[in-house]
Amino acid sequence: MSSTGRERITIEVGGGGEESQNFLKNFLLKHLSNFLLDSLEDATCLNLPSKTIAFTTDSFTVKPLFFKGGDIGKLSVIGTLNDLAVMGAKPLYLSLSLIIEEGFMSGDLERILESISKASRENEVLIVTGDTKVVPRGAVDGIFINTSGIGEVIYKGLSARNLKPGDVILLSGPIGDHGVCILAEREGFNFEVDLESDCASLFPMLEPLFLANLELHAMRDPTRGGLAGVLYEWAQASKVDILIEEESIPLQPQVRVFCEILGFEPYHLPSEGKAIIALPKREAPKALELLRSHPLGERARIIGEVINWSSKPRVFLKGPYGPIRVMELNNGEFLPRIC
């Protein structure tokens, strides 16, 4: 198979024969070649800088495949890098597994592979092992991508179980951009919005915090489930309550308008380039200073605190005029295939 972009991916590409070999050469290695991936063995041998690593996996089923600010390829690299970064790990290596529908346009695949290549180059990680399955028409909608990642743990001890009353909650920037961007572009919503997905790698912004000898308790990126999902996990795992000041949550105006018109809560919408951090209050000024010195963290701020109010761990939201209500969890009904 050559590659003018208008061919369609055939079942034979996934068969392990000559077409598979051609596909590897003309598509995957064309974009992703490096000395480790090129070995094309069943597994790739790696020499790690340390015996303490972080390991993560994520499958990406986003629809549409291409959206403002990114595509499924970029997302599948960045999403996994961020899962490593929020555990205190410097991302090193990724695996890449493609499940492609028979008949998928080769030009779309090339665009996706270019994005994967760009995102991994920019973030100095190598894709070192992979797998491609082609399934008959109708067995998958277009393309799904799994990446797994290995990183070197440079800051130990971050955990959802570590929150303590007196901690404050930092947010690195406005939330919901990715969710609004995907929903607005999706059939049925028909909502024009001048907003890009915030899909971005968090490690460069977070590394200074890891190196600064700060006491950090927990860190997450609010993807599926949004800010509310992370805070609930933390409250339950640490058996604490969390109180968030609604007005302090940074939002882009487009996200605010989208949510007001369509009835979403911004804290239910996923972001793909934001970090939530729980840490002792005394560490907050230094952490904010470090976050704000990176372009991704310019709007970082304290949005709440860890408290100990009720018998059952909950997350509370303090409204602009004082009243306090419970922050509801999103049930996810409207948000399939958001990442």
Least gap, CB of 142 to a copy of itself (angstroms): 9
Least gap, CB of 196 to a copy of itself (angstroms): 22
In the complex with a copy of itself, which residue's Cβ is closer, 148 or 286? 148
In the complex with a copy of itself, which residue's Cβ is closer, 41 or 122? 41
Whole-Å CA distances, 223 to 33, 155, 220, 312: 30, 22, 9, 25
Distance CA 42, CA 39 (A): 9
| Sheet order of strands, 126-135 included | 126-135, 89-101, 143-153
In the complex with a copy of itself, which residue's Cβ is closer, 54 or 251? 54
Least gap, CB of 274 to a copy of itself (angstroms): 13
Residue appearing with tokens 């018109």: 261
Least gap, CB of 189 to a copy of itself (angstroms): 15
Least gap, CB of 37 to a copy of itself (angstroms): 11
Classify residue 28 by its DSSP letter: I
DSSP secondary structure string, 245-307? EGGGS---HHHHHHHHHHT--GGGS--SS--EEEEEGGGHHHHHHHHHTSGGGTT-EEEEEEE
Residue appearing with tokens 């010195």: 293
In the complex with a copy of itself, which residue's Cβ is closer, 27 or 144? 144
Write phi, then psi, for 110 (nearest 5 degrees).
-65, -40
Whether the CB-CB separation of 179 and 270 falls below 8 Å is answered with: yes
Distance CA 149, CA 78 (A): 10
In the complex with a copy of itself, which residue's Cβ is closer, 128 or 255? 128
First to last CA, the chain: 30
Whole-Å CA distances, 12 to 20, 26, 100, 265, 280: 7, 14, 12, 46, 56
Least gap, CB of 152 to a copy of itself (angstroms): 10
Least gap, CB of 9 to a copy of itself (angstroms): 12
Least gap, CB of 88 to a copy of itself (angstroms): 8
Coil/strand/helix, residue 231: helix
Closest CA to 149 of 220, 48, 247, 249: 48
